[in-house]
Amino acid sequence: MKRGNDRPLTFSVGIPTFNQADFLELTIESLLRQTRPPDEIVVSDHFSTDRTPEILRKYSGRLTVVRPPPGSNLTDQYNFTLASQGGDWITLLSSDDIARPRFSEVLMRGAASRADAVLVRAGWENIDERGEPLGANYLLSVPKVESPPQTLVSQKNGPKVSFAAFALRRDAYLKSGPILPSIESLADWALFLQIAPYGAFVYEHELISGYRVGHDGDKFRRRLGMWIRDEMRIFSEVMPAAARNAAMTDFTWIDEAARANFRRYLAAASRTFPPSERGEVIPLFQAWANRVNEQDLLERFIKGETIVTPASLFTRAKALIRPVAQQLAGRLRR
C-alpha cells in the first residue's frame, strides 16, 4: 500500500509476551499467513520461563526477538515494544490473540487512505480459550474518518479503539511521547488518547482479529484497584495533556467524564461486591469520590445500596440490543 507517489508504506507488528506459550505460536502463525504479510514482526519477551524461548527459536530468521529491561511493568513493555518497531505504521498484538488473514491488509488500506491519518481502527471478534468465536464487535458509534479534537473527546469515557485491531503511524506515536509510565493497566486507552491530537482516526468496517477473553479469571475483581488508579491518572494527567496538545482551552468535559466514569465503576462494584465484601474496596474509591464531589454516592455504596445511575441503565440497555446491532452490521458489511 502507498499514498500517491510515495514509496510503499511499511508495517510492523509487535507482540509483547510473558509466559503465554500456550497461545504464542498461534499468534505468530496467524501473522505469517497474511494476505499482505507484515514487513516486520517483533516479539518482546519479558524473560518468559515457560516454553516461549523454545517457540521463538523455532521462528528464528522470521521475526525479531527483543527483551525489555528486567522488571518492566505492562506499560514499560508496551512502550519498549512500540519503540522497537521500525515500520511506517506499527501496532501491538497480544500474544494470546489471533490476526485474521486480512489483518495487515485492512490496516494498511486505512493507513494509505489519508495523508493525515495517525490511527486506523477496525472490528474484531471475541474468542474463547479454545479460539471459538463468541461474538463480533464492529465499532458502530465511530465515523469512517474522525479528526481532532473529536478523536480525543469521543474517548472521554473509554477507548474507541480495540487493542486487537489498530495501527499507529510511527512518527505520530514518537511525537505524542511514550505512554505515561505510571499507568498500570489501561495503557491502551492512554495510548489512544495521547495520539488523538495529532491527526485523523480512520475506521475500517471489517473484523480483522480474534481477541481472547475469559481465560484469565475475573478481571474486574482482580484489577479494580489498578483500573481506579489509572482512571485517576488519565483524568488528571493524560487527558489534560492531550487536550493542551489539541489546542483545547475548555477542560470541563474532562471533569464531567471523570464523574460519569466514577458513577459507572461504583455501579458495577455495587453489583459485583455484596455489602459484606465492600470494606476492602471502599478505600479504592475515596480519592476519586473526593475529586468528583460524589461523597454522597459513595456513602450510599458503603451503606450497602445497589447503585443505579442513568449511565448504568444505558449500559444495560446497550448490552441487550448490542448482539442484534452487531449482527446487522455484519450483514451490511457482506
**CATH code, domain with 31:** 3.90.550.10
Answer yes or no: do 169 and 259 share one domain. Answer: no
Q: Are residues 248 and 139 in the same domain?
A: no
**Digit-coded pLDDT (tens) for 246-284:** 999 999 999 999 999 999 999 999 999 999 999 999 999
Identify the DSSP state of 209.
E
Do 55 and 199 belong together in one domain? Answer: yes
Tens digits of residue pLDDT in 179-235: 999 999 999 999 999 999 999 999 999 999 999 997 766 789 989 999 999 999 999
Q: What's the pLDDT score for residue 294?
A: 97
In a domain, 1, yes or no: no
State how many domains the chain has. Answer: 2
Which residue type, as a one-letter code, is found at position 201? F
* Residue 197 shares a structural domain with residue 279: no
pLDDT for 7: 81
Residue at 296 is within a domain = yes
Backbone angles phi, psi at 128, to 5 degrees: -90, -175
| 139 contacts 121 by C-beta, under 8 angstroms | yes
Q: Give the pLDDT score at 204.
A: 98
Q: Are 149 and 228 in contact (CB under 8 A)?
A: no
Give percent above pLDDT 70 in the chain: 90
Question: Domain ends where: 156, 183, 212?
Answer: 212
In a domain, 102, yes or no: yes
Q: Is residue 327 part of a domain?
A: no
Q: Is residue 83 assigned to a domain?
A: yes
Averaged pLDDT in 10-residue chunks for the chain of 334 residues: 71 97 97 98 97 97 96 96 98 98 98 98 96 94 97 97 97 96 97 98 98 81 95 98 97 97 96 95 97 97 92 56 58 58
User: 209 near 99, Cβ under 8 Å?
Assistant: yes
The predicted structure's pLDDT at residue 319: 56
Phi, psi (rounded to 5 degrees) for 142: -110, 150
Which is nearest to 16 in space by CA: 107, 99, 90, 96?
Answer: 96
Q: What is the pTM of this model?
A: 0.91
Q: In degrees, to the nearest 5, what angle opens at C-alpha 162 toward C-alphas 156 and 167?
A: 105
d(CA 302, CA 283): 10
Report d(CA 101, CA 103) in Å as an integer.
6
Domain hosting residue 54, numbered range: 11-212
Per-residue pLDDT at 313: 56
Predicted local confidence at residue 218, as pLDDT: 75
| Residue 4 maps to a domain | no
207, 235: one domain: no
C-alpha distances in angstroms, 47 versus 20, 56, 68, 77, 277?
A: 11, 12, 8, 11, 36
Of the candidates 125, 92, 106, the residue with the CA atom closest to the CA atom of residue 202: 106
Q: How far is CA 251 from CA 8, 256, 262, in A?
A: 40, 9, 17
Q: Cβ contacts of residue 237 below 8 Å, gap of 6+?
A: 180, 182
For residue 240, the number of C-alpha atoms closer than 13 Å in the C-beta half-sphere is 9
Question: What's the one-letter identity of residue 308?
Answer: V
Q: State whether 175 and 301 are in the same domain.
A: no
Q: Kindly state whether residues 284 and 252 are assigned to the same domain.
A: yes
Report the pLDDT value the prediction gives residue 332, as an integer from 0 to 100: 61
Q: Domain check: are 247 and 286 in the same one?
A: yes
State the Cα angle at 89 between 87 and 92, rounded to 5°: 95
Do 87 and 198 lie in a common domain?
yes
Judgement on whether residues 293 and 260 belong to the same structural domain of the protein:
yes
